[in-house]
Amino acid sequence: MNSSYSHSFLRHNQILLWLCVLSFFSVLNEMVLNVSLPDITNEFNQTPASTNWVNTAYILPFSIGTAVYGKLSDQLGIKKLLLFGIIVNCIGSMVGFIGHSFFPILIFARFIQGIGGAALPSMMMVVVARYIPQENRGKAFGLIGSIIALGEGMGPAIGGIIAQYIHWSFILLLPSVTIITVPFLMNILKKEEVMKESFDILGIVFMSVGIVSFMLFTTYYRIPFLMIGILFLLIFLKHITKTSTPFIDPSLGKNASFTIGVLCGGLIFGTVAGFISMIPYMMKDVHQLSTAVIGSGIIFPGTMSVIIFGYLGGILVDKRGVLFVFSIGTAFLSISFIVAAFLVEVSPWLMTILIIFVFGGLSFTKTVISTVVSKSLKQEEAGAGMSLLGFSSFLSEGTGIVVVGGLLSIHLLDRQFLPMYLKQSTYLYSNMLLLFAGTIIVSWLVTLNIYKRSYK
């Protein structure tokens, strides 16, 4: 009895250990190259619109794949999908490192990484649910959540140091560390029974073509991309109303509270992601900071503050309600953007403080959006609805990065709207920050108007 208990305890701890390794490197890969975007721009003589695809090429398949892997887990088994994800992610890392001197290969490698990386967060949560005893799941989820927060926080610092003192291409090798987990997971995870179900591959293709075309429009501002994007998204919307097993349940669109929560949450998440992608360009152009200082000194304190704000946001939601926390979060975001717009050239360290409040506001709003969206769903809709929220959140981040890259490249906002500035290099960034603040305020007003009756 004791021997059986000890063996089971050891096995559960082994699973948890390797899941922590996967958790850390899966989130590290998402934004670790962010601080190197200006370096990549200069090395390849590209515009920010093109260079930002280094991040978007990862996030786009990652967002779609997160939803796809979740649906495939019952048909193919989590063991196969998890191992597939790890191996594909590592292949993408090696392709990117070997071919990093060719920009198209770099983008292709990041796309491959995103396909593999998408399997990790979805399958890890399922592994915990299936292999960890119920009485220990709370601790397991808490530990993995902490490791994820640590990976997100350390990503900019690690990426900045590697890029500054070695070369940004070596950052691409970081996910390949996860290959060490493969033999252990093959041994630990059991063979599973799978179910045969139909899968909406056509819907995924229509939606993907529409999204990619729209993102290409925001990169190059060519009307044909916009027309193709709209056409395929309309075809996708028509398709999901006709098929018996749609990739996205169209009935969720009839739920106004759910739809507004997803759309306004997407606007906020996309705005913050775009802002984060803009920081390295802004800090180099305005303050001439090194890549290592941008990663470690400017962005790192903010990413680590998410751990504190996430805990605080959960407490405040229970004590003061979701609308109060949402208003505080959006106030953090909008005020930080407005202050930064007026004082962007004063001191880079002021930006460090403001970024802490930006990440705090993001943490608060994420907590609220997850809460209000989940409460707007019926029990039978919860799985599909929350999966769609996760998918739209990742997709919004990728879209935000592309849109900001496009606006930085075409200089549409490169005008002197604030007369106190003397440096022309600050015009564009200041106006972008005001645009971010306006987007957050509009999202706050719409969300408040929709949910105020439900949360009086």
pTM above 0.75, yes or no: yes
CA dist 315 and 419 (Å) reads 42
Task: Please choose, from the candidates 241, 208, 191, 165, the residue with its C-alpha nearest in 3D space to the C-alpha of residue 68.
Answer: 208
Name the most confidently modeled range: 7-11, 120-124, 224-228, 240-244.
Answer: 224-228
CA dist 365 and 369 (Å) reads 6
Cβ contacts of 47 within 8 Å, gap of 6 or more: 41, 405, 408, 409
pLDDT of residue 448: 84
At 66-75, the pLDDT tens digits run: 778 777 776 7
Q: Identify the DSSP state of 298.
A: I
Phi, psi of 143 (to 5 degrees): -65, -45
pLDDT of residue 98: 94
Phi, psi of 422 (to 5 degrees): -105, -30
pLDDT of residue 381: 66
Scan for tokens 């930085």, then name that residue: 408
Averaged confidence pLDDT in the chain: 82
Least confident range from 273-282, 285-294, 413-422: namely: 413-422
At 314-356, the pLDDT tens digits run: 788 778 888 888 899 999 999 999 999 988 888 888 999 999 9
What amino acid occupies position 317?
Answer: V
pLDDT of residue 364: 87
The more confident residue out of 346 and 88 is 88
Q: Could you give the percent of the chain with pLDDT greater than 70?
A: 87
Residue 427 CB neighbour total at 10 angstroms: 18
Least confident range from 122-126, 271-275, 405-409: namely: 122-126
Using pLDDT thresholds of 50, 70 and 90, give the confidence band for residue 1: very low
CA dist 117 and 128 (Å) reads 18
Task: Please choose, from the candidates 364, 285, 282, the residue with its C-alpha nearest in 3D space to the C-alpha of residue 323.
Answer: 364
pLDDT of residue 5: 46
Residue 191 has pLDDT above 80, yes or no: no
At 250-284, the pLDDT tens digits run: 887 788 788 888 888 889 999 998 999 899 999 99
Which letter, b or e, does each residue of 188-211 get, where b requires 16 or more Cβ atoms within 10 Å of its Cβ? bbeeeeeeeeeebeebbebbebbb
Cβ contacts of 320 within 8 Å, gap of 6 or more: none
